[in-house]
């Protein structure tokens, strides 16, 4: 009998077996087990069509989007250790991140990651369109994707305010002034002035959608707190849930699309 | 050359150039979708960027914030992915004309392979590459941070991050309720509607061009011209007061741009009839209201039903009904949604050209209701 290689020896130890519950993936049985027995890897099917694993087909763009999203979650949590969302501290905390944290590129990673995610999600959508992968039975998953696209942009938008510098508040001021113009619901939008009971104006700058978004009539401290919570808790949770739905449906709709 | 570009990148001209370029891209797609063209495109884009960044003024305006850096990736990736998808599509089209299956359906590619190692290793590779790329980017470019927030002093221009600049550019032509609320909302609704409108069973799960020409051309036009080109205009060609600045032009907050835009109501009553504006707003705006209703109601009818009986080439365009054939294959509901979405996306180029050609400000102008189109 040939002597076991080092890898094979490791694979026979009690520690290895307790973690992976199967030998090294060099035969059919173990290759199935490595995918099926691991909670992360079992997002994948055990076997799939060759056309679907080719980089030239999917460009791995959905996968890269997911990777960047995870990277953003990790760097974002690290940033949260240093950052306090108040008008008094926010800006100084961001400066401190740059000047006092050793090897401080967390903010860079987080910001450039956000830009990268916008690009990868657009290109992913473009790939899905060009391969006609939104056609039956994948119509619904395309819709889930569109919502993910919108949420990705909203994540960027809400994060943009947090450094609390000139770039931040004025970009958000331009953006949130759009909400003011929502038909019927914004006080500067078409039709809002028709909603009157006697002298009582129903839609004003004190209760319209922009007010709800900013927690005030302009981009101030209340807006900072709202955007912080939307950015760090609410939207990421919704995105995570929808990504789970998205991946589940990729599998249930028959895996990566291929000619019928 | 730089002076030439400084003048002709103005959207007044460059938008038309880009539309013409798009037309030729579709017409000569088989030339575009060759390996040679792809390599040429890569080199061309690279040379363009190198030349641009050799110019100090361009570099200064571009780096007004490091947040503009991704625009470089965006331009490369859009050019390359568009070419690549067309390349693969045309290659499959040629195969299918010869009676062969598309490359994705060859027996070899239909075979099943193990996820481990085939897929998992590719993903690992992508993750490592992605990590290296992000860290490199983070080391070489600092995240921007400007002066602390100051609600009393607005920077000029106040730009949103680049991915929203297409929408911000639309504000030049539309009021916020259209540019910032209705049209973006329709983009989202329209995207979700795509799979329910496109009833073409072909091209599901493989690259093709000819089998889905209408869908692909429509999507590419919106994606390349209406979305990304507008982003580039907003990022590179707009300076203080959101005025146009050539790529090699120094930003100067005092640049005076003549703004003498007029409304249709003024054109009708004051310029043409030579009377005062009527005081009843509906009579005042009657021309704009009729035009809008005509566009949203009569034009769809004209596009669907043959109405006139001209002979020859004139008839082809003016008899109407040339989209009628889609009505049969799509049914009423899908067809109306399709026409509605197409007409709504065309409002943007229409409004742009009206602005440039006749200095039109608003088609309907009812500040009494904040209802301006
Ligand atoms: C946070 C954003 C998103 C993530 C993380 C994500 C992730 C993924 C992944 C990993 C796949 C597997 C195949 C691949 O990598 O291409 C996939 C497939 C798919 N995605 Fe996404 N996606 C996102 C957004 C979108 C968007 C914006 C759309 C379209 C509007 C979309 C539509 C689809 C469809 C239809 C499939 C099935 C493709 C096929 O079977 O060929 N997704 N997505």
**What are the boundaries of each domain within chain B?**
2-108+118-143+159-242, 264-372
Nearest CA to ligand 1 atom 35: A142
Show residues of chain A in contact with B226, CB under 8 Å.
Answer: none
> Closest by alpha carbon to B38, among B81, B7, B69?
B81
B333: closest CA of chain A, how far (Å): 17
Enumerate helices (H) and strands (E) in chain B, giving the number of each: 20, 3
Q: Which residues does chain B have within 8 Å of residue A36's beta carbon, measured at their own beta carbons?
A: none
B152 touches chain A (CB under 8 A): no
Q: Which domains does chain A have, with CATH numbers?
A: 10-47 (no CATH), 53-175+221-252 (1.20.810.10)
Q: What are phi and psi of B232, to 5 degrees?
A: -65, -40
> Counting atoms of ligand 1 from 1, which one is nearest the CA of A65?
5
Q: Which residue of A has its CA nearest to B127?
A: A67
Contacts of B371 in chain A (CB under 8 A): 190-191
Q: What does the pLDDT read at residue A1?
A: 54
Q: Which atom in ligand 1 lies closest to the alpha carbon of residue A59?
A: 16
Mean per-residue pLDDT of chain A: 90
Which residue is closest in CA terms to ligand 1's atom 11?
Answer: A62
The mean-pLDDT minimum among A166-170, B17-21, B365-369 falls in: B365-369
pLDDT, position A197: 74
Q: Ligand 1 atom closest to Cα of A253?
A: 40
Interchain contact B141–A (C-beta under 8 A): yes
Percent of chain A whose predicted confidence (pLDDT) is above 70: 99
Q: Please give the model's pTM, rounded to 2 decimal places.
A: 0.94
CB B64 within 8 A of CB B156: no
Mean pLDDT of B185-193: 96
The shortest CB-CB distance from A35 to any of B116, B138, B205 is to B116
Hey, what are B189's tokens?
């609704």
Task: Name the DSSP letter for residue B155.
Answer: -
What is the pLDDT averaged over residues B267-273?
A: 86
Question: Mean pLDDT across the stretch A110-137?
Answer: 97
Q: Which two tokens stand for residue B336?
A: 């109306």
CA of A188 vs chain B CAs: smallest distance (Å) = 7
CB-closest option in A171, A190, A220 to B177: A190
Q: What is the CA radius of gyration of chain A?
A: 24
Q: Which of B228, B239, B232 is nearest to B61 (CA)?
A: B239
A222-236, B186-200, B309-323: the lowest-pLDDT one: B309-323
Residues present in chain B in total: 373
| DSSP string for residues in B319-338 | S--TTHHHHHHH-HHHHHHH
Mean pLDDT score, B28-52: 93
Contact between residue A171 and residue B163 where contact means Cβ atoms under 8 Å apart: no
Best of A174, A187, A194, A203 to disrupt the B interface by mutation (most B CBs within 10 Å)?
A174
Greatest mean pLDDT among A87-101, A112-126, B143-157? A112-126
**A93, A99, A100, A105 alpha-carbon torsion, rounded to 10°:** 90
Return the pLDDT at A194.
74
Of the two residues A20 and A92, the one the predictor is more confident about is: A92
CA B104 to the chain's CA centroid: 30
How high is the pLDDT of residue B366?
85
ipTM higher than 0.85?
yes
Asked if pLDDT for residue A24 goes beyond 90, the answer is: no
Mind telling me how many Å the CA of B281 is from chain A's nearest CA? 15
Q: Which of residues 71-100 of B touch A (CB under 8 A)?
A: 73-74, 77, 81-82, 85, 88-89
Ligand 1, CB cutoff 6 Å, lining residues: A 58, 60-63, 65-66, 69, 121, 124-125, 128, 131, 133-134, 138, 141-142, 145-146, 148-149, 152, 243, 246, 250, 256-257
pLDDT given at position A246: 98
Which of A244-248, B104-108, B315-319 reaches the highest mean pLDDT?
A244-248
pLDDT at B279: 86
* CB hemisphere CA count around B189 (13 angstroms): 13
Query: Are the Cβ atoms of A105 and B154 closer than 8 angstroms?
Result: no
* Pairwise CA distance, residues A236 & B198, whole Å: 32
* CB of A107 closer than 8 Å to CB of B143: yes
Q: Provide the pLDDT for residue B61.
A: 85
Q: What is the DSSP letter of B27?
A: H
A37-46, A209-218, B283-292: least confident range: A209-218
- What does the pLDDT read at residue B264? 86
B242 confidence band (pLDDT: 50, 70, 90): confident
Average pLDDT over residues A165-174: 91
| Percent of the residues in chain B that have a pLDDT greater than 70, as a whole number | 100
Q: Compute the distance between CA of residue A244 and CA of residue A250 in angstroms, rounded to an integer.
A: 10
- How far apart CA A244 and CA A242 sit, in angstroms, is 5
Q: A124 CA distance to ligand 1 centroid (A)?
A: 6
């Amino acid at each position: 009998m040939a002597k076991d290689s080092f890898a094979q020896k490791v694979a026979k130890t009690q520690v290895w077996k307790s973690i992976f519950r199967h030998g090294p993936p060099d035969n059919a049985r173990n290759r199935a087990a490595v995918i099926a027995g691991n909670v992360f890897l079992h997002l994948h099917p055990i076997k799939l069509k060759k056309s679907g694993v080719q980089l030239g087909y999917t460009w791995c763009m959905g996968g890269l989007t997911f990777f960047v999203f995870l990277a953003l979650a990790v760097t974002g949590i690290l940033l949260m250790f240093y950052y306090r969302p108040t008008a008094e501290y926010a800006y100084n905390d961001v400066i401190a991140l740059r000047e006092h944290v050793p090897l401080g590129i967390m903010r860079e990673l987080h910001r450039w990651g956000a830009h990268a995610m916008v690009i990868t999600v657009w290109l992913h959508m473009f790939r899905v369109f060009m391969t006609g992968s939104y056609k039956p039975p994948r119509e619904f998953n395309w819709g889930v994707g569109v919502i993910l696209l919108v949420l990705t942009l909203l994540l960027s938008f809400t994060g943009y305010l947090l450094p609390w510098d000139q770039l931040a508040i004025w970009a958000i001021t331009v953006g949130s002034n759009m909400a003011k113009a929502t038909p019927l619901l914004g006080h500067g939008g078409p039709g809002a002035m028709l909603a009157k009971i006697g002298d009582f104006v129903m839609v004003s700058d004190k209760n319209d959608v922009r007010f709800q978004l900013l927690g005030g009539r302009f981009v101030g401290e209340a807006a900072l707190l709202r955007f912080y919570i939307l950015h760090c808790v609410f939207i990421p949770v919704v995105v995570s849930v929808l990504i789970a739905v998205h991946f589940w449906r990729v599998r249930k709709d028959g895996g990566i699309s291929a000619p019928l | 050359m730089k002076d030439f570009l400084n003048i002709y990148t103005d959207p007044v001209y460059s938008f038309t150039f880009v539309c013409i370029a798009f037309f030729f891209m579709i017409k000569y797609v088989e030339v575009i979708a060759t390996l040679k063209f792809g390599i040429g495109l890569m080199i061309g884009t690279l040379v363009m960027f190198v030349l641009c960044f050799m110019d100090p003024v361009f570099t200064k305006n571009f780096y007004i914030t490091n947040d503009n850096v991704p625009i470089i990736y965006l331009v490369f990736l859009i050019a390359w992915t568009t070419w690549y998808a067309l390349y693969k599509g045309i290659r499959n089209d040629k195969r299918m004309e010869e009676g062969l299956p598309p490359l994705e359906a060859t027996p070899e590619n239909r075979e099943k392979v193990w996820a481990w190692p085939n897929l998992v290793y590719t993903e690992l590779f992508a993750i490592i590459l992605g990590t290296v790329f992000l860290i490199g980017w983070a080391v070489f470019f600092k995240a921007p941070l400007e002066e602390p927030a100051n609600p009393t002093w607005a920077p000029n221009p106040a730009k949103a991050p680049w991915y929203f600049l297409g929408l911000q550019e639309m504000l030049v032509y539309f009021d916020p309720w259209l540019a910032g609320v209705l049209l973006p909302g329709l983009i989202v609704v329209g995207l979700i509607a795509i799979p329910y409108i496109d009833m073409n069973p072909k091209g599901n799960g493989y690259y093709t061009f000819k089998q889905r020409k209408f869908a692909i051309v429509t999507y590419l036009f919106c994606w390349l011209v209406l979305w990304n080109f507008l982003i580039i205009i907003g990022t590179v060609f707009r300076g203080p007061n959101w005025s146009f600045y050539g790529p090699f032009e120094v930003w100067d907050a005092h640049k005076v741009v003549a703004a003498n835009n007029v409304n249709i109501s003024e054109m009708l009553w004051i310029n043409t009839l030579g009377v005062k504006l009527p005081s009843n707003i509906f009579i005042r705006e009657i021309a704009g209201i009729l035009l809008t209703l005509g566009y949203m109601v009569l034009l769809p009818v004209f596009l669907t039903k043959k109405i006139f009986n001209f002979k020859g080439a004139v008839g082809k365009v003016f008899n109407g009904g040339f989209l009628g054939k889609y009505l049969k294959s799509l049914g009423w509901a899908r067809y109306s949604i399709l026409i509605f979405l197409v007409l709504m996306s065309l409002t943007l180029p229409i409004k742009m050209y009206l602005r440039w050609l006749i200095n039109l400000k608003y088609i309907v102008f009812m500040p009494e209701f904040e209802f301006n189109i």
